[in-house]
């Protein structure tokens, strides 16, 4: 930095920038990556613990969810961030398996560290890892179990496995049923758009009292108290515009010199509103959702006709309403015809958790559903929601792919065995990389055992011998420590959870390993990766910048300690 300014070693870089090369760069990145994995490790599995995360403003999040932890941690180190991306990709593609994916990435880096020390070139490692990953995916396909989209019980097992160890676990049976029902009802040609499943959180009540509304809940109230609270056999109109008259006409054109003239304008306006309401009534609508506003006078007319009207409905809700009821939105209320209307068995204003909302239920084909999640406190409901999101993800993916794997570390153990065999057929030093890959995969079962308080070595030995004997479904029962058939136990996960994890973990590890030069425009030493932070190499002189922000209050004491 500053002291190098005199001899200007690299004129292309500003004096603010930092450069780390070769082995130092590699080991710095590996350390950062491992630290990220370490941060989520203890949360893995049914007996994993939770983390409490507190941000600058004192907001608290209590969670077991890998990707949530990493997102909240505000990680700055660039290599560490690549691992966070692994979790994010996993979250976006599958919704579950984020912790596993991150732990595997960390272990791939850790294994690589040993091999690099043995002078195995990073490129060789990268090739070996890639080869192993390709093979691993093939092996997984081979052992995958087919599941039909109608197999509700099996799907509920999958939903339940994703909830295990999370806030939702206590009510696993109830929630799994709701999740599967929800996903099944919005599925279309084997595809599921998770946007069609809305999750509403309600603080108050027990988790088991959560429910699925097959239809849409609009977070609004009816526009006037004179309208009916509910309508049976609803004929639903959707108006994309508003039920009002553009106000500018009055503002600009009326000079109130002549009271009659004003009256005439008002009459005219009233007439237009009357026409809108008449059109709705003539078409047969008894419920109307409006994207814009509803004029007071229109409200009055609507109430007179017994029509339930809701204004300022969100665009996303309008879409859901259209899908659920089969209504076609119209831009001008005056254009509405009977054909544009949708159907719902019931539309009613109800109270959930002290909030009034409009429930649109009993629709012909609920291509849109709302899951109402209840929980005692806000933090509880928030964590239940995260578990439910994972659960929705795995059921969706299973419906789409139709393939699952046993859980509890079974596939990882199986893969490790098969990859070690495969390694023998790989020549040269890449063989070592393939073996390292196999070892790395076992971090899954090992951590499951550790977190559940069982001896990881014993568990691994037992697992291996079962798989050696051909029991591909043998996994670790986290509750008893026994090795059991996971499929029989109902611990099953979609194939894609594992293939995606292997893919992103490998890509991220390879990318990090291939870096031999880190050129940073700013200061890298302030990275906030857990407690693993090492002091900047620059000695006491470098301390100020690196630690100053986080530990301001301790500044004096720290100096003395060093
Ligand atoms: P992730 O973010 O990776 O999904 P989890 O904390 O959800 O992390 O743990 C997932 C792991 O826990 C998977 O390996 C899964 O097979 C395992 N698992 C889930 N339920 C059980 C169970 N009842 N017994 C043993 N392992 C389980
Ligand atoms: Mg999970």
CA of 43 to the centre of ligand 1 (A): 10
Pick the CATH number of 216-365 from 3.50.7.10, 3.40.50.800, 3.20.10.10, 1.10.3720.10: 3.50.7.10
Is 68 a pocket residue for ligand 1 (Cβ < 6 Å)?
no
10 Å CB burial of residue 313 (0-12, 13-18, 19+) is: buried
Is 500 a pocket residue for ligand 1 (Cβ < 6 Å)?
no
10 Å CB burial of residue 122 (0-12, 13-18, 19+) is: middle
- With a cut of 50, say whether residue 407 has pLDDT above it: yes
Ligand 1 pocket test, pick from 51, 166, 408 with the greatest ligand atom count within 8 Å of Cβ, gives 408
Angstrom distance (rounded) from CA 357 to CA 33: 46
Q: Which token pair is 144?
A: 């995958």
- With a cut of 70, say whether residue 14 has pLDDT above it: no
Strand partners, 371: 199, 212
CA of 318 to the centre of ligand 1 (A): 38
Name which residue sits closest to atom 12 of ligand 1, judged by CA: 45
- What is the reported pLDDT for 253? 54
As a whole-number percent, the residues of the chain with pLDDT over 90 amount to 69
Is 210 a pocket residue for ligand 1 (Cβ < 6 Å)?
no
Atom of ligand 1 nearest to the CA of 410: 16
Q: How far is CA 191 from CA 94, 141, 195, 359, in A?
A: 14, 21, 12, 26
Angle, CA 458 vertex, CA 455 and CA 460 arms, to 5° = 105
Ligand 1 pocket test, pick from 145, 159, 164 with the greatest ligand atom count within 8 Å of Cβ, gives 164
Closest CA to 190 of 402, 420, 24: 402
DSSP for 178-207 reads HHHHHHHHH-BTTB--GGGEEEEEEESS-G
Q: Which helix (H) or strand (E) holds 89?
A: helix 78-93
Is 97 a pocket residue for ligand 1 (Cβ < 6 Å)?
yes
pLDDT band per the 50, 70, 90 thresholds, residue 396: very high
3-state SS assignment for residue 415 = helix
Rounding to the nearest 10 degrees, give the CA dihedral for residues 101, 102, 105, 111: -110
DSSP for 245-280 reads --THHHHHH--TT-HHHHHHHHHHHHHHHHHHHHHH
Distance between first and last Cα of the chain: 21
- What is the reported pLDDT for 553? 32
Q: How far is CA 367 from CA 188, 212, 220, 314, in A?
A: 8, 13, 21, 18
Angstrom distance (rounded) from CA 347 to CA 357: 10
pLDDT band per the 50, 70, 90 thresholds, residue 547: very low
CA of 487 to the centre of ligand 1 (A): 13
Q: Give the model confidence (pLDDT) of 328-361 as tens digits.
A: 999 999 999 999 999 999 999 998 877 899 999 9
Q: Which ligand is nearest to the CA of 42?
A: 1
Atom of ligand 1 nearest to the CA of 48: 6
Ligand 1 pocket test, pick from 68, 71, 100, 393 with the greatest ligand atom count within 8 Å of Cβ, gives 100
User: 97 near 493, Cβ under 8 Å?
Assistant: yes
Atom of ligand 1 nearest to the CA of 102: 3
Residue with tokens 């009002």: 244
Is 33 a pocket residue for ligand 1 (Cβ < 6 Å)?
no
- The domain made up of 2-145+407-520 has a fold known as GROEL; domain 1 (1.10.560)
CA of 42 to the centre of ligand 2 (A): 13
> In which order are the strands placed within the sheet that holds 211-213?
197-203, 369-375, 211-213
Is 433 a pocket residue for ligand 1 (Cβ < 6 Å)?
no
Domain spans, the chain:
2-145+407-520, 216-365
Q: Which token pair is 471?
A: 């029991």
DSSP for 507-550 reads HHHHHHHT--EEEESS--TT---TTT-PPPTT-HHHHHHHHHTT
Is 161 a pocket residue for ligand 1 (Cβ < 6 Å)?
yes
Is 46 a pocket residue for ligand 1 (Cβ < 6 Å)?
yes
Q: Where are the alpha helices (DSSP H) in 363-429?
A: 378-401, 410-425
- CB count within 10 Å of CB 11 equals 6
- With a cut of 70, say whether residue 119 has pLDDT above it: yes
Is 463 a pocket residue for ligand 1 (Cβ < 6 Å)?
no
Residue with tokens 């049914």: 46
pLDDT band per the 50, 70, 90 thresholds, residue 188: confident
Average of per-residue pLDDT values in the chain: 87
Atom of ligand 1 nearest to the CA of 67: 2
Ligand 1 pocket test, pick from 491, 497, 504 with the greatest ligand atom count within 8 Å of Cβ, gives 491
Closest CA to 289 of 247, 227, 246: 227
CA of 95 to the centre of ligand 2 (A): 8
- What is the reported pLDDT for 2? 45
Could you list the active site residues? 65, 98-99, 390
pLDDT band per the 50, 70, 90 thresholds, residue 529: very low
Atom of ligand 1 nearest to the CA of 101: 3
- CA 104, chain centre distance (Å): 19
Q: What is the 3-state composition of the chain as percent helix, strand, coil, each rounded to the nearest 5?
A: 55, 15, 30
In sequence order, what are the residues at sequence separation of 6 or more whose Cβ sits closer than 8 angstroms to the Cβ of residue 280? 237, 288, 302, 305, 307, 333, 336
Q: Which ligand is nearest to the CA of 68?
A: 1
Angstrom distance (rounded) from CA 430 to CA 404: 30
Residue with tokens 């732990």: 103
CA of 98 to the centre of ligand 2 (A): 7
- With a cut of 80, say whether residue 509 has pLDDT above it: yes
Q: Give the model confidence (pLDDT) of 148-165 as tens digits.
A: 999 999 999 999 999 998
pTM: 0.81
Atom of ligand 1 nearest to the CA of 100: 3
- What is the reported pLDDT for 341? 97
Is 478 a pocket residue for ligand 1 (Cβ < 6 Å)?
yes
How many Cα neighbours within 13 Å face the side chain of 300? 6
């Amino acid at each position: 930095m500053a002291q190098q300014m005199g001899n200007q070693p690299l004129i292309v870089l500003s004096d603010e920038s930092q450069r780390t090369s070769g082995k130092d760069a590699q080991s710095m990145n590996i350390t950062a990556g491992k630290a990220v994995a370490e941060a989520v490790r203890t949360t893995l599995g049914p007996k994993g613990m939770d983390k409490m995360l507190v941000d600058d403003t004192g907001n608290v999040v209590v969670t077991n969810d890998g990707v949530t932890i990493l997102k909240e941690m505000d990680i700055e180190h660039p290599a560490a961030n690549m691992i966070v991306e692994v979790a994010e990709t996993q979250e976006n593609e599958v919704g579950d398996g984020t912790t596993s994916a991150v732990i595997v990435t960390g272990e791939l880096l850790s294994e690589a560290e040993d091999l690099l020390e043995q002078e195995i070139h990073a490129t060789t490692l990268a090739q070996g890892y890639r080869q192993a990953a390709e093979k691993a995916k093939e092996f997984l396909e081979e052992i995958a179990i087919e599941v039909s989209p109608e197999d509700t019980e099996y799907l509920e097992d999958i939903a339940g496995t994703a909830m295990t160890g999370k806030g939702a676990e206590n009510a696993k049976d109830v929630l799994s049923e709701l999740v599967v029902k929800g996903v099944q009802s919005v599925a279309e040609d084997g595809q599921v758009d998770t946007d069609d499943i809305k999750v509403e959180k309600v603080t108050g009540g027990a988790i088991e009292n959560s429910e699925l509304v097959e239809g849409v809940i609009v977070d609004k109230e009816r526009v006037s108290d004179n309208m009916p609270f509910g309508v049976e056999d609803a004929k639903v109109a959707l108006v994309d515009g508003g039920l009002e008259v553009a106000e500018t006409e009055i503002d600009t054109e009326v000079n109130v010199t002549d009271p009659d003239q004003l009256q005439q304008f008002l009459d005219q306006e009233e007439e237009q509103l009357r026409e809108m309401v008449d059109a709705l009534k003539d078409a047969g609508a008894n419920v109307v959702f409006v994207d814009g506003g509803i004029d007071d006078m229109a409200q009055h007319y609507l109430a007179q006709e017994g029509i339930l009207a809701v204004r300022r409905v969100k665009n996303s809700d309008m879409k859901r309403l259209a899908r659920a009821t089969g209504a076609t939105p119209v831009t001008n209320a005056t254009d509405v015809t009977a054909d544009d209307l949708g159907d719902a068995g019931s539309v009613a204003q109800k109270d959930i958790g002290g909030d009034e909302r409009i429930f649109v239920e009993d629709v012909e084909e609920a291509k849109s559903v709302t899951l109402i999640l209840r929980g005692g406190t806000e933090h509880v409901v928030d964590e239940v929601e995260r578990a439910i999101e994972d659960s929705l993800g795995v059921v969706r993916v299973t419906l789409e792919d139709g393939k699952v794997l046993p859980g509890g570390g079974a596939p990882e153990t199986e893969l490790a065995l098969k990859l070690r065999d495969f390694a023998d057929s790989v020549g040269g030093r890449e063989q070592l990389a393939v073996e390292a890959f196999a070892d790395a995969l076992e971090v899954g079962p090992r951590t499951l055992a550790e977190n559940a308080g069982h001896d990881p070595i014993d568990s691994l030995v037992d697992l291996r011998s079962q798989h050696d004997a051909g029991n591909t479904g043998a996994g670790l029962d986290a509750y008893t420590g026994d090795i059991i058939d996971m499929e029989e136990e109902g611990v099953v996960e979609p194939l894609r959870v594992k293939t995606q994890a292997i893919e992103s973990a490998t890509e991220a590890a390879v990318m990090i390993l291939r870096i031999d030069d880190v050129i940073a425009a700013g200061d890298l030493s302030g990275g906030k990766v857990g407690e693993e932070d090492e002091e900047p190499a620059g000695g006491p002189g470098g301390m100020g910048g690196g630690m100053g922000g986080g530990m301001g209050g301790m500044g004096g004491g720290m100096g003395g300690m060093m």
